[in-house]
Each structure stands twice: as structure tokens, then as C-alpha cells.
Chain A
Amino acid sequence: MNPLARIGQVVLALLAEIGRLTLFLRDALIIGLLPRWYPRQMLIQLMRMGYHSLPVIGLTAFFTGGVLALQIYIGSSRFNAENLVSSIVALGITRELGPVLAALMMAGRVSAAIAAEIGTMRVTEQIDALTTLSVHPMKYLVAPRIVAGVVALPLLVLVADIIGILGGYVVGTRSLGFNAGSYLANTVNFLQWDDVTSGLIKAGVFGFILALMGCYHGFNSRGGAQGVGRATTNAVVSASILILAANYVLTSTLFAK
């Protein structure tokens, strides 16, 4: 095939996908956020995404905080600046690694689960059944998940921040020989509100992205079990990439002063 035609095809397919996603987003926001609301559904989703993800998030954060302390210790000892370890661990966790790693873990957990569930509902006509029972799927399925994503992620990241810093503290005091009191004092004195809030704002955006991707790919799945599998993979991949891209854009425009 003519290589130009091939490029054209890919570009057109990409544009069509962006168009579909934009329409879906518009429906999700306009139809989904207007009443009627389904608070029960939202609570169920909040439990699933938030509470049931705590173990995963906690473990991720703990090990990340610990390894960060080890690595920064190696780097800072080359400049005789070991006392910076606690501050840089806190900064790295709250501004960057807490939100990004939590969001990526959640993309694997939550986006996939949402896409599989909604995708199955699509191919078994459960979504059509909702419509015939006068319940709008955007309101009943999509809106509660997106709201739960936006609420749950910042809460999870707050937990991740605390556990991540704790992980650094444990490694710092147990194996790097820091004094417990001064390690903590350095963390608290150095950390600014901005560091924490910028991470939480990012987390809200990431939560929105990963719930949206799960819903969008699930909703558009076609063709039986195979289609649901494809939707699940696409949801995780697209959520992860969009999260990393959004992270850069947010950091460079809002939080890099």
C-alpha cells in the first residue's frame, strides 16, 4: 500500500477516536452530572476504588519511600549532603511519586475493572436494558465512577504520602543510621503545603482520567469476550499514557515555579 495512504489512515483513525472520546466526555459531563443522581452507586464505587485499594497503595508507597531514601542517600553522600535525605524523600513522594505511582497502580486495578464490567454489560445488552428501564447509563454507570475516581484518588494519595514518608523514615533510621528526631524534624520543617496540595490536585485529575478511560473503553466494546478483553487492555494502556502526559503538562504549567 502507498505509505502516504497508510499514514493518512492512521491519522484519520486517531482523529475519529479523539472525536468519539470528546463526545463521550461531553455526554458524561452534561448528562451525567445533572440530576438524577445515584448516590448509592457512588458509594459502592468509592468503596471499591478507595477502601479496597488501600493495601495496594500502602505497599507501593512504603517500598517507594524506602528505596528513595536509599538512592538519595547514595547521591547526597557524594556532596556530603546526607542531611537532605529526609527532605528530598518527602518532596519526591508528595509532589511526584505518590500521585503518579498511585495513579498507575490504580490504572491497572480500577480502569481495567471498570472497562471489564461495563464492557460485559455492553455485550450482554445490560446497558440497553438500563435504557429501556428509563435509567440513563451515563447517570447510573459513568457519573458515579468518575465522581468516585476524582474523590478517591486524592484520598489514596494522601495515605500514600504518609506511608511513603514513613517508608523513608524506617529505612533512614534503621539502615542508614539517621537520628529519628532530626529526620522527622527535617521532613516537617522543609515540607510546604504546596508540595502536598499540588500532588493532591494532580491525583484528582488522574482519578478523572482513569475512571473516564475505563468507562469509555467499556462502553464502546464490541463483539463478545474478545471485545471485552481488548477494551480492558486499551483502558489500562490509554489511562497510563494519559496520566503520564497529564502529569508533565500539569507540573510544567502549574507547579513548576
Chain B
Amino acid sequence: MTDGKGGQGGKAPGAAEGVATGEGDIHVSVRGLKKSFGPKVVLDGVDLDVKRRSSLVVIGGSGTGKSVLIKCIIGLLRPDAGSIVIDGEETVHLKGRARARLMRKFGMLFQGAALFDSLPVWENVAFGLIHGQGVPRRQAREVAIDRLAQVGMPPEVADLYPAELSGGMQKRVGLARAIATRPEIILFDEPTTGLDPIMAAVIDELIVKTVKEVGATAITITHDMQSVRRIADEVAMIYKGRIIWHGPISQLDNSGNPYVDQFIHGRADGPIKMQVRG
């Protein structure tokens, strides 16, 4: 997990450009990231380093800007200020072709799965291959069925539509879609929220397994503490637009940080006050 030198597994598209090994083994480095919507300040100077091929989990209450943070990292939102360095390259100003090239390094599982409901399951999974990389449809379908097997889904589901699947199944398809192009960095936005505990455990296991198989760096958002313990190598907690604690999972229980303690034990009273407005 910690050996970041050299190998990209030789599979990840876009890996050919040569990874800046001079940066040590930091894959994604965020500095002073700020983002507001109108008067509402969401991110207020986030600093965060993600080690190559490690699994970082970001915890924090609802509406604290976790989704906004990963949308800034992947480039769906443009930050107001700050820097996001990926593989040694500053990325916040990237546009057009350069942005598209960077996007190929990423895979993302959305909070609501965000499957394309007009397309059958296999075409959802194969979408990035067919449209992003120009793989012929027949070949892409085979890859899709392969990826579905990786997340424990039989080939019969390939021709179903997303609306015919349960929430947990949709998440699995979303996971298969996120890993289909063998991305270097995979983002998971609340992968287990809204699932029953058993399905949540299954999804967590799949995340750990597939991230390892693909050899990717993973950033996961969650507020499910069981998930955190199953997925994380490292944990960061976001509060009031900043990262207030960041450390290895082994230190989570004795972080010495009262905010973290309140959050991981789910106590109603403590330094964190509930916000009414999300």
C-alpha cells in the first residue's frame, strides 16, 4: 500500500505520461482550497494530502462540504482559491483538452449512483470505454460483463435497466462503472448511505477489493463509522470548511481531538453544534 514508486500496474490509461516521482508518494495534494456559494462559505482553506495507492476516508457531518471537496478535486466544481496538485501537476486552472486528459485518471461513484436511466446496465458500465475511449461496442460489452462479475453481479443483469435494480445493486453497477476504465484515483461519495447494514458491508468489501485490484488511490466520503473502519488507511475530518484532524486509522480512537471523539461516538453534546441550514 505504501510503495508508490514506479508501477501503475501498467493498466491505467493516462499513466503513460510518466508520473512525477519527485513528489514522493503524495498522489493528490490540496492546499488552501476555498469555495463559496454566494454568501455561504463551504470550504475555507482545506489542506489535504493523499498518499498514492492508499485509501483516505473523509468524515464530517451532513452539509459540511464533503461532496463539494471531492467535486473540486475531480474538477466538477471550480474552487475560488487554492491549489490542487495531482501527480505533481497543478490542476485548478485546467480547461478543455488538458482537463479531459486529467479526467481520465479519475473514476467516481456518486451518492445516488447517478446511473444513466435511459441506458441498460452494461452500457452504463461500458460508457466511459465506448464514448470516452472509443472502444467498439461489442468489445466494451465484454469488458462490462467482466466488471459486473468483479462486483458480484451475474451477466443476466447486463440487459436490465437501472430502474429495475435495488439501491444496493445500483451502487454496485455504479462501482463497476467507476472502475471500468481502470482509473488511478477513485472517489466514492457516501457509498453505503441508505443501504441496509449487510449490503453496506458488501459494498465496503467490494470497494476495498476493487481498489486493490485496480491499484488505485481511493478517497471515500462517509459518515458511517463502520465503513470507515473497514475501508480506511487514513482518516481526515472536515469541520467548518477545514480539515481539523488527519491521521492513520489506528489513531482514530485516541486522536485527542474532541470534535473527532464526538463524531465517532455519535454524541449529541460536545463542541460540534448542529446546523439547521444545510
- Counting CB contacts under 8 A, is A17 at the interface? no
- A125, A126, A129 — most chain B CB neighbours (10 Å): A129
Q: Provide the bound-state CA to CA distance between A125 and B116, in Å.
A: 10
Digitize B98-119: 1 where CB-to-A-CB distance is under 8 Å, 0 elsewhere: 0010011011101110111110
- B104, B107, B127 — most chain A CB neighbours (10 Å): B127
Chain B residues near A136 (CB-CB < 8 A)? 100
Number of A-B pairs whose CB atoms are under 8 Å? 52
- Counting CB contacts under 8 A, is B276 at the interface? no
Establish whether residues A133 and B128, one from each chain, have CB atoms under 8 Å apart when the complex forms: yes
- Counting CB contacts under 8 A, is B71 at the interface? yes
- Counting CB contacts under 8 A, is A182 at the interface? no
Digitize B69-98: 1 where CB-to-A-CB distance is under 8 Å, 0 elsewhere: 001001110000000000000000000000
- Counting CB contacts under 8 A, is A178 at the interface? no
- Counting CB contacts under 8 A, is A248 at the interface? no
Q: Provide the bound-state CA to CA distance between A128 and B177, in Å.
A: 14
Establish whether residues B112 and A125, one from each chain, have CB atoms under 8 Å apart when the complex forms: yes
9 A-B pairs within 8 Å (CB atoms) are namely A38-B131, A125-B110, A128-B76, A131-B75, A131-B103, A133-B132, A133-B177, A133-B181, A134-B133
Establish whether residues B132 and A126, one from each chain, have CB atoms under 8 Å apart when the complex forms: no
Chain B residues near A126 (CB-CB < 8 A)? 114-117
Quote the shortest CB–CB distance from B103 to chain A (angstroms).
5
Chain A residues near B181 (CB-CB < 8 A)? 133
Q: Provide the bound-state CA to CA distance between A133 and B118, in Å.
A: 16
* Nearest opposing residue in chain B for A131, CB measure: B76
* Nearest opposing residue in chain B for A44, CB measure: B118
Establish whether residues B127 and A133, one from each chain, have CB atoms under 8 Å apart when the complex forms: yes
Q: Provide the bound-state CA to CA distance between A133 and B133, in Å.
A: 9
Quote the shortest CB–CB distance from B65 to chain A (angstroms).
16
Chain B residues near A134 (CB-CB < 8 A)? 100, 103-104, 128, 131-133
Please name the 5 residue pairs, one residue from A and one from B, whose CB atoms are nearest each other, closest first: A134-B132, A133-B128, A125-B114, A129-B114, A132-B108
Quote the shortest CB–CB distance from A66 to chain B (angstroms).
38
Establish whether residues A132 and B103, one from each chain, have CB atoms under 8 Å apart when the complex forms: yes
- Counting CB contacts under 8 A, is A124 at the interface? yes
Digitize A124-164: 1 where CB-to-B-CB distance is under 8 Å, 0 elsewhere: 11101111111110001000000000000000000000000
Q: Provide the bound-state CA to CA distance between A129 and B118, in Å.
A: 14
Establish whether residues A128 and B71, one from each chain, have CB atoms under 8 Å apart when the complex forms: yes
Quote the shortest CB–CB distance from B90 to chain A (angstroms).
20
Q: Provide the bound-state CA to CA distance between A140 and B116, in Å.
A: 13
**CB proximity to A under 8 Å, residues B36-51:** none
Chain A residues near B111 (CB-CB < 8 A)? 125
- Spell out B's residues near A (CB within 8 Å): 71, 74-76, 100, 103-104, 106-108, 110-112, 114-118, 127-128, 131-133, 177, 181
Quote the shortest CB–CB distance from B73 to chain A (angstroms).
11
Quote the shortest CB–CB distance from A141 to chain B (angstroms).
11
* Nearest opposing residue in chain A for B131, CB measure: A135
Establish whether residues A132 and B74, one from each chain, have CB atoms under 8 Å apart when the complex forms: yes
Chain B residues near A133 (CB-CB < 8 A)? 127-128, 131-132, 177, 181
* Nearest opposing residue in chain A for B189, CB measure: A125
Establish whether residues B110 and A129, one from each chain, have CB atoms under 8 Å apart when the complex forms: yes
Establish whether residues B76 and A132, one from each chain, have CB atoms under 8 Å apart when the complex forms: yes
Quote the shortest CB–CB distance from A121 to chain B (angstroms).
8
* Nearest opposing residue in chain B for A117, CB measure: B118
Establish whether residues B114 and A124, one from each chain, have CB atoms under 8 Å apart when the complex forms: yes
Chain A residues near B114 (CB-CB < 8 A)? 124-126, 128-129
Quote the shortest CB–CB distance from A188 to chain B (angstroms).
45
Digitize A176-207: 1 where CB-to-B-CB distance is under 8 Å, 0 elsewhere: 00000000000000000000000000000000
* Nearest opposing residue in chain B for A133, CB measure: B128
**CB proximity to B under 8 Å, residues A93-142:** 117, 121, 124-126, 128-136, 140
Establish whether residues B112 and A124, one from each chain, have CB atoms under 8 Å apart when the complex forms: yes
Chain B residues near A130 (CB-CB < 8 A)? 116
Q: Provide the bound-state CA to CA distance between A130 and B116, in Å.
A: 9
Q: Provide the bound-state CA to CA distance between A249 and B95, in Å.
A: 38
Q: Provide the bound-state CA to CA distance between A125 and B133, in Å.
A: 22
Chain B residues near A135 (CB-CB < 8 A)? 127-128, 131-132
* Nearest opposing residue in chain B for A31, CB measure: B96
Chain A residues near B110 (CB-CB < 8 A)? 125, 128-129
Chain B residues near A117 (CB-CB < 8 A)? 118
* Nearest opposing residue in chain A for B104, CB measure: A134
Q: Which of B107, B118, B133 contacts A132 (CB 8 A)?
A: B107
Chain B residues near A132 (CB-CB < 8 A)? 74, 76, 103, 106-108
Q: Provide the bound-state CA to CA distance between A135 and B76, in Å.
A: 13
* Nearest opposing residue in chain A for B134, CB measure: A36
Q: Provide the bound-state CA to CA distance between A135 and B130, in Å.
A: 10
Quote the shortest CB–CB distance from B186 to chain A (angstroms).
10
Beyond A129-B108, A133-B127, A135-B127: 17 further Cβ-contacts under 8 Å?
A38-B131, A121-B116, A124-B112, A124-B114, A125-B111, A126-B114, A126-B115, A128-B110, A129-B110, A129-B114, A129-B115, A129-B116, A131-B75, A131-B103, A133-B177, A134-B100, A134-B133
